[in-house]
Amino acid sequence: MLTKKVFLIMGCQRSGSTLLESVFNAHPQVHVVGEEQGEAYRYFAEPARLNGLPKESVCLRIPAATHRIKHAIEKFAGARILFTLRDPRDVVVSMRKLEVRKELDDPIDTWLVVYGHNEIRKCIANLAEPERLEEKLRSLYEQTKDLNDPRFGGFCWMVKNRFIPHYSRSILPTKIVRYEVLIANPEPYLRQVCQFLDLEWSDHLLEHEKYSSGQWGGTNKGEAIHQRSLHVYKTYLSIDERRAIYSVIGPDMDLMGYVELFD
């Protein structure tokens, strides 16, 4: 049985989960567990172990477990969900720019190539009407052999965020944390998030760079909140690439409020 107040950071990778982790790492009442060496996922698998951690509240950043909603409901009754959401065009840019390798001896490739396609498959298997999504994905694979095609990044964003209504309707209280709002208006927005989490406000959240360090997924955890990553797609995606992404995920973009004007 869990004796801690727990909140889980879910959502599509490259959507601000590392920033959110770093921010709450600065909160004096929160013990944050990140993805390094798979630690957060081990706690997610064995939640009773969380009771041994030192602080009153525990945060697990586990975006790669977003599709495991049934496990979250079964094992984390009472936990709250922060679901990160970011402009899909900027997400696609980040997925394609970040260079990673799965194993030490593997060649370096983009996050999208190394991890994105597996994320797509895991999500499809845990969503309603998987056959429709599988057919759509098969059609993409028939159209291109380029695994770094931006349409695959858009597809990954789409299937990850289709879990939002499932979490919102579940017994787990869920708050969408929009990346763009977080970095544009950090204090009022973080106050809302703290209220949702039933946490006292701490000014430390606004200076998290003093309490966090290290790199993860190309993100410097010790860097102050900035707006340099807003609308980077306008530099890195051509109009044709943006049209291609929209052709795959247009309805989901519109639903989430990300209007594509091709300006």
Same domain, yes or no: 143 and 25 = no
Instruction: Report if residue 227 sits inside a domain.
Output: no
Question: Could you tell me the residue range of the domain that residue 132 belongs to?
Answer: 88-160+239-256
Instruction: Report if residue 77 sits inside a domain.
Output: yes
Calculate Rg over the CA atoms of the chain: 18
Instruction: Report if residue 169 sits inside a domain.
Output: yes
Same domain, yes or no: 245 and 135 = yes
Q: Provide the whole-model pTM.
A: 0.95
Task: Spell out where 96-185 has E strands.
Answer: 99-100, 109-110, 174-178
For 192, phi then psi, to 5°, come to -60, -45
Residue 220 pairs in a beta bridge with 215
Amino acid present at 194 = C
DSSP label of 207: G
For 222, phi then psi, to 5°, come to -95, 20
Q: What's 28's domain CATH number?
A: 3.40.50.300
Same domain, yes or no: 180 and 249 = no
pLDDT score of 3: 84
Same domain, yes or no: 193 and 246 = no
Same domain, yes or no: 193 and 141 = no
b/e code 68-95 from CB counts within 10 Å (16+ = b): bbeebeeebeebbbbbbbbbbbbbbbbb
Give percent of the chain above pLDDT 70: 97
Same domain, yes or no: 74 and 14 = yes
- Which segments of the chain have a pLDDT < 50? none
Domains: count for the chain: 2
39-57 residue pLDDT tens: 999 999 999 999 999 898 9
pLDDT score of 209: 87
